[in-house]
Amino acid sequence: MSFKNKIFCALDFSELDETIQFTNKIKNHIGGIKVGLEFFCKNGPDGVKRLKEFGLPIFLDLKLHDIPNTVARAFKNLIDLSPEYLTIHLTGGKLMIKQLIKYKKKTKLIGVSMLTSLDNQDLKESGIMCNEISYVEKLVKIGVSSGIDGVVSSPREVKLLREKFQKLMLVTPGIRLPDDNKNDQKRTETPGKAIKNGSSLLIIGRTITKSPNPILSIEKIIQNIENEI
């Protein structure tokens, strides 16, 4: 896999036309596209179908989380979109995960452990007494034992998880170039260090989408990776 193919751009737009225009601009420079709740709530399945016309792998980031039967029914309505990846919350538990595995076809299920906007203080305030790395590891073990294809991991946990789960797909958000603003992400890292530590795919949004020159920013991301590897 080339470094370009490790980059999935997070298209955090609401409007379909804007999303299509931006994707058309960068489509030859990335490995895939990620769309989440903002896009899906505005454009629904039809919007995803439009994006599939680009022929890029789609990472559908909906973070499904509910009782097993409810999530399974929702999942059945999504699976015909054939996204390459679909996210679910690992805190939904083993039964929820196993229910979805029955219906996933070729789509890879990616488990979300702990959002990159959270840290140890947030865990304490929620009554969770272990630190973030221990908490993430516990959730990942639940996912792996249930048959999950991969997990979303902040850059801070990637190295540890790669050592413990050598064949597991690790998808990493919270990626920033050295001069970038962290914005609302608390656990961030450069693309090069994330790949060096074992990340399989990088989810990168604002570094690309807010750049005055998105293609140049993608080139800088690839250069950062090449400098680290």
> Looking at the annotation, which residues are catalytic?
63
Enter the tokens of residue 185.
């992400």
Question: What is the distance, to the nearest Å, from the Cα of residue 103 to the centroid of all Cα atoms in its chain?
Answer: 21
Q: Which of 113, 112, 132, 118 is nearest to 185 (CA)?
A: 118
Give dist(CA 173, CA 201) in Å, integer: 9
Instruction: Give the residues across from 9 on adjacent strands.
Output: 33, 204
Phi first, then psi: what are they for 27, rounded to 5°?
Answer: -55, -30
Task: Dump strand ranges (E) for 22-91.
Answer: 32-36, 58-64, 85-89
CB 22 within 8 A of CB 209: yes
Q: What is the DSSP letter of 175?
A: B
Print the SS3 string covering 58-104: EEEEEEECCCHHHHHHHHHHHHCCCCCEEEEEHHHHHHHHHHHHCCC
